[in-house]
Chains A and B, each alone.
Chain A
Amino acid sequence: GENVEQHPSTLSVQEGDSAVIKCTYSDSASNYFPWYKQELGKRPQLIIDIRSNVGEKKDQRIAVTLNKTAKHFSLHITETQPEDSAVYFCAATGSASKIIFGSGTRLSIRP
């Protein structure tokens, strides 16, 4: 079935360093890959997304890469700041355009 795997489950980085979160997906028909940031008790917030016809996208300190052949996509956060601490989810479209979420990464930024 449709599946999105995400790792690591937890990540702790020094403030100012970079953080990388990786995901793989199973459905070769997936064509939309959003990334969400979720703070405790809040709704998921879209931070960046990429479509299957693009290999890389950047928005200030955040970038996402997509390798369709390998079915891999990654989130890169540079110059991390304390406010980047949260849970991050990758996701991919499945059948009927529904979105399947990865298991999440709890990112902690050490001062």
Chain B
Amino acid sequence: GAVVSQHPSWVICKSGTSVKIECRSLDFQATTMFWYRQFPKQSLMLMATSNEGSKATYEQGVEKDKFLINHASLTLSTLTVTSAHPEDSSFYICSARDLTSRGDLYEQYFGPGTRLTVT
């Protein structure tokens, strides 16, 4: 089946620094990836849609200058949390669609998530 990885699985950083999270589709090409944020005991909130070769589409209320998304290849999207603050501490999860002929056009494959703690 389709596999999505994320790196790192967890990270601790100091307030004011930037953190980059990688999302990779390991055995398929993903022209579209999605980034979610999940606070404890809450649902997954879509932050942005990452499109290969073009600008990401951000959901309402998500600061594009704070959460930089780059989707430079068909298998890699990165999320950079700039000038992180304690309130950015959360579980960040990416997902991707396999849009090849062998893939299900609807199903999303999720990465294992990255737990970010900002001190």
Contacts and interface: CB of A to CB of B under 8 A. Distances in A.
Contacts of A93: 106
Interface stretch (A12-20, A39-47, A66-74, A75-83): A39-47
Nearest to B6: A43
Given A43-B111, A96-B49, A96-B57, A89 B43 contact: yes
Nearest to B91: A41
Nearest to B49: A98
A99 B46 contact: yes
A84 to B, nearest CB: 19
Contact of A99 (B34, B57, B113, B115): B34
B93 interface: yes
Interface of A: 1, 32, 34, 41-44, 46, 49, 51, 89, 93, 96-104
